[in-house]
Structure 1
Amino acid sequence: MSSKHTPGPWAYQEDSDAYTHIVRGSSNRFICQLAQTTSAEIEANARLIASAPESHEANQLFVQAINEMQGISPDHSDERIYDEMPSSQLAIAYFAARAAIAKATGGAQ
């Protein structure tokens, strides 16, 4: 699973001041800085951004595991995948993970 983004882990910089919230990658690499609208909201956004690499990898692992467990191949239609899932909740989670991967990679999943 290769990626074009800065490798994780990313972390919220705990010692940021009250008006600036910074996310850094490994080796203290700058990822992004968020300016304040409300401190709690921006800090929450920064922490969400910091979790992006791990969330992306978790989505990829989940989709890969379901593909292997269910014998899903690229030529399966979405309707067939949905019909063959053990539960509708699992199907919903599977398609949500695929959509998140596509959004993160700029392509179709």
Structure 2
Amino acid sequence: MEWDSNTSPPSHLRFWNCPNLNKLSHLQHLTSIKRLSFWLCPNLYTFPHDQHLTSLQHLEFWNCRNMMDLPEVLLPSLLSLRILGDCPVLKERCSKKGDYWPFISNIPNLDLPRWEN
């Protein structure tokens, strides 16, 4: 992704209804991105750990059924994390008993499914 030098890069990027999107790459140049949203991306399964999204504050997934992996290094600095709809693996990993909980428990705005015990 490239931008004309006369325009500023976006601060919000939304991937919506992208059934062929299965992994993210080439985001390393988007250092100004503050919000990333993925809606209806059923084949997206990983978020690369080597992306340098130093400005990222808000991360959102909705109906990303196969999404399994989040960048642990970015999670503690987020201001909001939303996992909505059909995201079974992320829901499990972000639950209070999940392996992401230590990284996300202090995020000010968590929008996660309620878990029944």
Give TM class, smaller chain: under 0.3
- Higher helix fraction (1 or 2): 1
- TM-score between both structures, scaled by the size of structure 1: 0.22
Which TM-score applies when normalising by structure 2?
Answer: 0.21
| Structure whose alpha-carbon radius of gyration is higher | 1
